[in-house]
Amino acid sequence: MEGIVMSIVRVLWGHLAGARGRVVTAAVAGLLASGAALAQPLVLQQVIEGATSGAAIPWWAVVAFAALLGTVAVLTGVRERLVETAAEHAAASLRRTVFSAIVTAPPGWIRRDGIGDLVSRGTSDVAALRRAAASGFVDVVGALVLVVGSVVALILLDPLTFAVALAAIGGAASVALLAGKRISELTDEAQVALGRYGNEIEAVASSRLVITAYRGEEHAIRRGAALAEQVRRHGERIAVTRAWVAPVTQLAFQSAFVSVLVTGGLRVAGGGTTIADLATFVMFFGLLVQPSTELLNAAVAVLEAQGAHRRIEGVTAMERPLPRNESLTVEQGGSAPRIDFQGITLRVEGRLLLDDVSFTARAGQRTVIIGPSGAGKTTLLNLVERFTTADAGAVLLDGVSVDELPEAALRSRIGLVDQAATMRPGSVYDNLSLDGRELDAVLLAELLEAFCLTRTVGGLEATRDATTLSGGERQRVAIIRALLVRPDVLLLDEPTSGLDAESERIVDDALQRLRGEVTIVMISHRRSTIAAADAVVMIGGRPGGVASRSVDVRGRTATDAGRSGGD
């Protein structure tokens, strides 16, 4: 547990950069408030002794007591404000870190955990750590001073009465810590269940029309209700555990307070102590209760945050492949490169997908990859982009392995049109400039005109919502997006599957104009696209691997493409 706590402290402290001055100021305010609170019983003792002895009440003590009360209130308010704003600062920094980690995470990792689960990590898990920051780490400083000071004063005033009260307080602390540990386990399970529920919402929202078309609403509702029920059960267990912690803790403190009054009253009656000392003892004991409660709450908050911390670390601490040679560079806008696939072997979930696949996409030419579904065609494009890594073999760009090149430099040379022609919510312009750069207005106008999209997307401003485009329009916009980066390599995954004959002709003409300037590797099943290729690579075969051939459709030299374990 100690290691987890220190890890959480380090994480939160690291995300407090820029707000650490507030944290230090809050800690100082807490210390001053604790000092002022510890002085209150001593001043009150002077007032009570003056009143019970028959002498005049020391009015300076009354004024001082009132001033101390006001000082504690003001300092506590200042501390709380600083703590809360610092906690928000840490939470905002943590959200940025999680978001950045998700954006840069390997695609396969995102598919494994699901979008809903990632949303849960970036929202509710961060909120759990924010609660830990707000309820604990700064308050602990002042609370510890107040607890230590109160304990010392109580022992000096009446060690016997303090011993009686300590037993009850120890019981309350034990109950709270045990409950906190249990709540930590339950919270971890609840967050996982919440992530599954979020994944289901994302799945239903993204496939709404298909579900409706196949009358699957009732089934989807049942699945969602079952997942919601799992979240409810986990939440209920947490609520039940929390529900009995508060009354047990309260009972323990009340028992301790009653013990103090009974024991102290008996000692006053027996002459073992004075009324003034008893009143001072009771006030010090009252000062002990509040910070003890704060410390227990902080401990419980940290215990609850353990699961959230582990889940967030699963994102932020993920190992990301680093280039093996940062000295290598790739110049964008250079000559079209040659791409060699050498002995590519890859297993996916235990299944042999690609087995010793080798072929070459010649510089400035158009190479078309064909083959049955599931043969690994898209995977070959992903290997060029380094979205995935082969178990054996290499992809070479002008003789240099892509694994040796810095990712940013490599991808700056590549234009990609994925199979789904993915568009994120937002305008077409936003989708054309995913890196936020200002687009070349002249080139954009030429491309929109060439692909007959000027009016469709809202002119040069491209204000139309990209998610409302038709399938064919999305494909043309995706091709324009790839061409706007002025790539040396163009990877196209079935870019004309949703196009009519006229639109396909427009795309083919655009690709022909790139001949000699850009190396094109594309996947297609269209005869016209295959016929226009400079080379065709066939990937496919039964599981276990049979020889596949790269056959030039014009009858020139056939090239061995290795074996593929596709279906």
Give the pLDDT confidence of 9-39 residue by residue, as tens digits: 677 777 777 778 888 888 888 888 888 888 8
pLDDT at res. 522 = 94
pLDDT at res. 245 = 73
Distance between CA atoms of residues 458 and 478, nearest Å: 16
Distance between CA atoms of residues 65 and 61, nearest Å: 6
Band of pLDDT at residue 556, cut at 50, 70 and 90 = very low
Would you say residue 349 has pLDDT above 70?
yes
Band of pLDDT at residue 566, cut at 50, 70 and 90 = very low
DSSP 124: I
pLDDT at res. 321 = 55
Asked if residues 536 and 553 have their Cβ atoms less than 8 Å apart, the reply is yes
- Which of 92-101, 116-125, 136-145, 150-159 has the least mean pLDDT? 136-145
Would you say residue 460 has pLDDT above 80?
no
- The mean pLDDT of 270-298, rounded to a whole number, is 79
- The mean pLDDT of 331-343, rounded to a whole number, is 80
Burial 8-26 (b: 16+ CB within 10 A, else e): beebbeebbeebeebbeeb
Would you say residue 219 has pLDDT above 50?
yes
Pairing state of beta strands 392-397 and 400-401? antiparallel
pLDDT at res. 334 = 60
Tens digit of pLDDT for each residue in 398-450?
999 998 888 888 988 999 999 888 888 888 888 888 888 888 888 888 888 88
Percent of the chain with pLDDT over 70: 87
Burial 310-328 (b: 16+ CB within 10 A, else e): bbbbebeeeeeeebeeeee
Band of pLDDT at residue 7, cut at 50, 70 and 90 = low
Would you say residue 58 has pLDDT above 60?
yes
Calculate the alpha carbon distances from 137 to 131, 294, 488, 523, 559 in Å: 10, 11, 53, 56, 66
Would you say residue 43 has pLDDT above 60?
yes
pLDDT at res. 324 = 47
Dihedrals φ, ψ of 350, to 5°? 85, -10
- The mean pLDDT of 161-180, rounded to a whole number, is 75
For residue 89, how many other CB atoms are within 10 A of its CB? 20
Would you say residue 557 has pLDDT above 70?
no
pLDDT at res. 365 = 92
Tens digit of pLDDT for each residue in 179-194?
777 877 788 788 888 8
**When comparing pLDDT for 339 and 189, which is higher?**
339
Tens digit of pLDDT for each residue in 514-524?
888 999 999 98
- The mean pLDDT of 466-484, rounded to a whole number, is 87
* Tokens 């009732």, located at residue: 218
HSE, CB side, 13 Å, CA atoms: give it for residue 289.
Answer: 18
Would you say residue 322 has pLDDT above 60?
no
Would you say residue 562 has pLDDT above 60?
no
Band of pLDDT at residue 565, cut at 50, 70 and 90 = very low
pLDDT at res. 89 = 86
Strands of 535-538's sheet, edge to edge? 400-401, 392-397, 339-348, 351-361, 559-564, 546-550, 535-538, 366-370, 519-523, 489-493, 414-417
Would you say residue 545 has pLDDT above 60?
no
Entry pTM: 0.70
pLDDT at res. 338 = 93
pLDDT at res. 397 = 93
**When comparing pLDDT for 210 and 539, which is higher?**
539
- The mean pLDDT of 325-353, rounded to a whole number, is 76
Would you say residue 320 has pLDDT above 60?
no
pLDDT at res. 543 = 41
Asked if residues 561 and 550 have their Cβ atoms less than 8 Å apart, the reply is yes
Band of pLDDT at residue 342, cut at 50, 70 and 90 = very high
HSE, CB side, 13 Å, CA atoms: give it for residue 416.
Answer: 19
- The mean pLDDT of 514-539, rounded to a whole number, is 89
Question: Could you give the 3-state DSSP secondary structure of residue 342?
Answer: strand
User: With DSSP H G I counted as helix, E B as strand and the rest as coil, what are the percentages for the chain, rounded to 5?
Assistant: 65, 10, 25
Complete domains list, the chain, with CATH: 2-316 (1.20.1560.10), 339-564 (3.40.50.300)
pLDDT at res. 248 = 75
Tens digit of pLDDT for each residue in 373-404?
888 899 999 999 988 889 999 999 999 999 88
Calculate the alpha carbon distances from 441 to 188, 240, 465, 477 in Å: 50, 61, 19, 15
pLDDT at res. 402 = 92
What's the chain's average pLDDT? Answer: 80
